[in-house]
Every structure is written in structure tokens, then in C-alpha cells.
Amino acid sequence: MKRLLIALGCVLSLSFAAYAAEPAAAPDTKPAVAAPAPATATAPAVTPAVPPVAAAPAKAATPTTLKANPKVTIPIFLIIIGATMCVVVWSAKKTKSASDFYTAGGGITGTQNGWAIAGDYMSAASFLGISGMISLYGYDGFMYSVGWLVAYITVLLIVAEPCRNAGKYTLGDILSFRTDPKPVRAVAAISTVAVSTFYLTAQMVGAGKLMQLLIGIPYKTAIIGVGILMVGYVVFGGMTATTWVQIIKAGLLMTGTFVLSILVAIKSGFSPLQFFNDIATNQNIIDHVKLLPIYLKESAAGTATADAGQRFLEPGLFLTNPLDQISLGMALVLGTAGMPHILMRFFTVPTAQAARKSVIVAMFIIGFFYILTTLLGFGAAINVTPQAIKSVDAGGNMAAMMLAKQLGGEFSPFLGDLLLAFLCAVAFATILAVVSGLVLAASAAIAHDIYVNVIKNGHADQHEQVMAARITSFCVGAVGIAIGIAAEKQNVAHLVALAFAVASSGNLPVVVMSLFWKKFNTAGVVAGLVVGTVASIGLVMISPNMTYPEVVANNAKAAYTKLEGDIAAGKVKPEAMEKTMNTIEAKKAEEIKNRGGKSMLGLSKPLFGLKNPGILSIPLGFIAAILATLAFPSKKAEEMWDEVYVRQNTGLGMAKAVDH
């Protein structure tokens, strides 16, 4: 096994080194084609990039491509890959039983688990998507950060301790204790695989696009490389390797964001007042906001309450409907507590006290991280400009990377390359850590719930269980690679929203009622999971998260019509005329390209107006579970309630921790 791991590491090292040895391509002078948003619930379905223009007289023309220096980036990549492969070799020696594979034997400390949870949670959506969202939409991007942070209060107060005490390896273990295990485990496994697949696909596409954009590695090669590494982490190292990879990644991510945030603060003299004044008075931000659809509508209707710069610091540029913010908050706050790969982390600690401690540690780390991403997002808007960010990636996902290169480059070109290379490697490690956790959660659902408990009726020895887990992990990883390659040209931004919607609408209602309602039974579990999952998926598919070419065309027409009106009214200064004319031409081309197009389901516009369905799908999940429970009562479920109550409050019956 050790030889196989070493060979795997050598193959990957040689492949990356081969690309590093290739001569760098000449800079492309054409605008980059906007890639789908990597792995973010935050990246909106925005219009294609506007041609690059001068940000201000004092600045050079905005970039249209972003490339990392391979001579700096590749060594950092290889160091991180080498370190994590050493962790896998070390972990493989300790992974002998099913408990070792799924939960690291329950021997992870509260502090270690807190860092691992933070590493599991701070995905590419957090690092790339949130900062990009803030750089393009200001305050609304910050609202995503708040939602994800507050989510852990729900986890701490409701599910952390009871799940650790009442469960064993998976969501199915929690739900099947006092219900008919076979149908419940089967449905729970399907829900877990669905959530994990949505999230996994977004992460994989993000990895491919990131490597393709920054280093020039072909998309398929990047996807296969990520897939091989994540399969290696999970198949050989199990939860122990996954945990330590997440801890390493969390430390690297915090280091990178902290350094970059200090550079942003230096630009404003460490003065918050100056920082926000720079945002409100920045001409590039003002020009960007004036072309956003909601600001165009407010201006036309005479309802704009602030100038464009100040409007960037107010809510409503992206989440234009107040119900959208409520729905988003519900999905994020409740969805986290239903994410299978987060729930699995509570089975890795030895005591309920350690479970609570791990959540508190994770909250502090994640909270500090989101403060830093807010600085990065606004800092990118000021220093890089929204126009430049959109010219490289329409979703804004390269904002933090562009900021690193620019601010570092102000000290020296090498420092700019070094910062960009480090953040590239950190983003890569971020995706690896998250996909490893997702693969482990999905494989546990299939191997433990379906194979061991449904097919084998629980009669499988430790060796057979571990083999089933490893084979399943390999298969899930292979499917993830295939889906990632197939989804190359798809906009996968809505998949993360879908994952949280399913987790909050299907998983959370049944977990909460299994733990706290005496009458809850098999019918309630199945109904809650099925209705919540189907409702959330259905509503997302007809929501504004999907791309509607006709809507894109209408927004483009509104934008260029407004600019033509400004020119006719003499509102455009002579020095800004060329920039304005370029924008008009780009918007007209955008309208022609999208006019008459349909969404994936053949719709011209959304049928459900909210970007997140939580406000409707979450109540539907709870209502379905309650009604089914009352309609099909179970005496057995009520009789076993006392045992569940004792278990979730004392941990009686849990396996003892293994020393690591």
C-alpha cells in the first residue's frame, strides 16, 4: 500500500512538473471567456464579461487574463501535495477497522475536530465565491458570510451533542435506530449521495477551471488529478487522513487570507472610515453599480435612495427581494446542520463535551475567516475594480487572486507571483479537503447503510466493511471525475444552493424530529426526506439560479439603453466616452447572443422568484414528516423513545475512542 501511495505521488508530481517545464504562452490580448462560477453558492448568473477599459487615469488598462508563474506555483503545489501524501501514508497504518475508516476511531480531539470542521466548511465557495460576490455586489455578498457563520449556532445548540451520542457513522444510523431500518437507510443514503454529488460537482468544476485559468493545465487533466488525490486520501487514509488534510488546509487558508487582508488594510492606513470612504467614492465601483439591473430599475422609477457608490454598501444589489434574504438565511442556517459530511465529523470525537468544543472552535475560526473575506472582497473592488474582475471571470471568482497579484506586485513582481502562487495552492488544497470529506460521506452512505445494513443485514466482519468502504470510495471518486468532466461547460453555481436547500429541507427536519419527537417514525422519515428533497430540487430548477438567456438579453438592453440616454443628455464626460461606447457595443452583442434562448428546462424566465427555496421547501419538509407520522403511527417507535433519549443525553452505547 505504501509503495502504491508513493507511486501515486510520483506520478502526480511528474505530471505537474511536466506542465511547469512547458514554456509560458504569450499573453492573450482578447477578453477571457467567462468560466462558470467554480464552486460557489454565491456567484450569480451574471452577464458575460465587459471588454476591458481603463480603471482610472493613474492605472494601467485592466487585465483580461490572470496567469500564475509556473516556476513559483508548481513547487508550492508539490510541497502541499507531498505533505498531504505523507499524512495519507501515516494514516493508512492506523486505518484497520470500519470505525477507523469512517470516524478515525472517535479519537480526534475537540480542537482538532474544530479545525477540521472549519477546513471542511471553508470551501472554494467561501474563499473564492464570497470574496468575488462582495467585489461585485457589495453588502449582499457579506450577507452570505453572516448566514454561514450563524449556521453553527444551530449546529451547536441542536444537533452536535445528540448526533454524536445517538449515531455511529452516518445519517442513516441516527434515523434508523427506532424505525424500520431498511427503507430509512435506503432513503437517507439517497439523500446523502444527492447532497454530496451536488456539492462535489461544483467543487470539481471549480478545481478544473481554477487550474485551467491560473496555470494553464487542461481542464480534464486538472479534474483527473484532483480526483486521483481525493480518492487516495479517502481510500487509503479514511477519516484520519481526511481530517488532517482539512486541518492543514484550514491553517494555510487562514494564513493566506490574513496576509492579504493586512495588505488591504495598509492601503487604507488601517482606518475603517477611510476604507469605506474609498469604496463609496471609487469611480469604477460607481460606474459598475450604475449598470446593475436593480439600480437601473431604481433610477428609472426614481426610487434610488443613494448614489451608486453608497448603494454598493447597502443591501439589495443581488438579493433584490427581502424574502430572498430570509429564504437564504433559513437555508444556510438550517442547511449546515443537515449536511452529511458535517454531521459525520461529530462521530470522530470521544465525548459530547469534545463535540461541543469542536463547534465552538470552528465558529471562532470561521467567523474570523469571513471577516477577512469581507476585507478581500471590498479590497478587490477598490484596488482591482469590478470591471477588471469581470473581464477575467464573469462570476467574480478570481477577485482574491487578482488582488493578491496586484498588491504583492506593488512591492515587487516576485512577491506578487509568490502571493498568487500561494493562494492558488491553498485554493487547490481547499477543494481537495472538501471533496475528500464529501466522498467519504457519500461512500459511507452507500457502503455502510446500503451494502452492510440493507444488503448484508448487518452481517459483515470488519475486513469486509473496510473493503466495501474503500471500493465504494473509489467508485464515488471515479463518478465524481466523470461528472466533473461532463459538467465543464455548465454553470454549476446553483448546485451549492441546491445542496444546502436539500440538506435544510430534507435532512434537517427528520434529524431534529428523530432526536426530539417521541412519536416520530418510519413514515415520517421517508416522507420528510422525499418531499423536502424533491421540493427543494424542483424549486431550484425553476428559480433565478438557473441561466435564462432571455432575461440576460433584457438586462443587457436596459443597460445600453440607459447609457445611450446618458450620451444624448450630455451626461457622459468626453474622457469617458470611449469607455461608454465600448460598453454599449458589448451589451448589444450580449443581447443578440442571448435573445430567444431558453433555460435548461425550456423556460424564458423563472417561475419561482426566489434564488433560494428554503422559505417554502423547509416548511414543506417539516409538514410532510409531521403529517406522515400522524397518519401512520408506530408503537415500536414510541416504545424505543426512552432508549434514544438516554443515548443522546449520555452517549451510552457509543464505541470508546481510539488513541491517535
- Domain ranges in the chain are 2-19+43-548+598-650
Residue 534, classified by CB atoms within 10 Å of its CB into exposed (0-12), middle (13-18) or buried (19+), is middle
Residues 6+ apart with CB under 8 A from 275: 265, 268, 378
**pLDDT at res. 285:** 93
Quick check: 383 pLDDT over 90? yes
**pLDDT at res. 125:** 65
With H, G, I as helix, E, B as strand and everything else as coil, classify residue 513: helix
Cα distances (Å, whole numbers) of residue 85 to 37, 225, 374, 660: 29, 13, 33, 18
**pLDDT at res. 29:** 33
Name the band, by pLDDT with cuts 50, 70 and 90, for residue 425: confident
Quick check: 28 pLDDT over 60? no
Quick check: 403 pLDDT over 90? yes
Report which DSSP code applies to 418.
H
Among 51, 71, 90, 115, CA closest to 418: 71
Quick check: 6 pLDDT over 70? no
**pLDDT at res. 393:** 80
Distance CA 226, CA 210 (A): 12
Distance CA 163, CA 647 (A): 10
**pLDDT at res. 552:** 84
Residues 6+ apart with CB under 8 A from 322: none
Cβ(339)–Cβ(499) below 8 Å? yes
Residue 302, classified by CB atoms within 10 Å of its CB into exposed (0-12), middle (13-18) or buried (19+), is exposed
With H, G, I as helix, E, B as strand and everything else as coil, classify residue 61: strand
Cα distances (Å, whole numbers) of residue 500 to 151, 410, 462: 11, 40, 33
Quick check: 489 pLDDT over 50? yes
What is the C-alpha radius of gyration for the chain, rounded to an integer number of angstroms? 25
Among 659, 566, 612, 1, CA closest to 287: 566
Tallying the residues shown for the chain, one arrives at 660
**pLDDT at res. 36:** 32
Name the band, by pLDDT with cuts 50, 70 and 90, for residue 334: confident
Report the DSSP beta bridge partners of residue 54: 61
CA atoms within 13 A on the CB side of 306: 15
Helix (H) or strand (E) holding 487: none
**pLDDT at res. 654:** 55
**pLDDT at res. 305:** 64
Among 611, 622, 215, CA closest to 424: 215
Distance CA 593, CA 595 (A): 6
98: left (phi over 0), alpha (psi -120 to 50) or beta: alpha
Which of 98-107, 173-182, 485-494 is the least confident region?
485-494
**pLDDT at res. 619:** 94
Q: Which of the pair, 283 or 27, is modelled with greater confidence?
A: 283
Q: Which of the pair, 653 or 408, is modelled with greater confidence?
A: 408
Second CATH level (architecture) for the domain 2-19+43-548+598-650: Up-down Bundle (1.20)
Quick check: 3 pLDDT over 70? no
Distance CA 419, CA 428 (A): 14
Distance CA 431, CA 246 (A): 10
Which of 108-117, 333-342, 502-511 is the least confident region?
333-342
Among 607, 530, 500, CA closest to 195: 500
Residues 6+ apart with CB under 8 A from 126: 148, 369, 370, 373
Give the amino acid at 577: M
Alpha helices in 159-218 (DSSP H): 160-166, 171-176, 181-214
**pLDDT at res. 651:** 67
Q: Is the dihedral of CA 404, 406, 411, 417 positive or negative?
A: positive
**Rounded mean pLDDT of 367-396?**
90
Question: In the numeric block, which cell numbers belong to residue 464?
Answer: 469486509
Cα distances (Å, whole numbers) of residue 267 to 278, 312, 389: 10, 19, 19
Q: Given 3-state DSSP classes, what are the helix, strand and coil percentages for the chain, each rounded to the nearest 5?
A: 75, 0, 25
Residue 65, classified by CB atoms within 10 Å of its CB into exposed (0-12), middle (13-18) or buried (19+), is middle
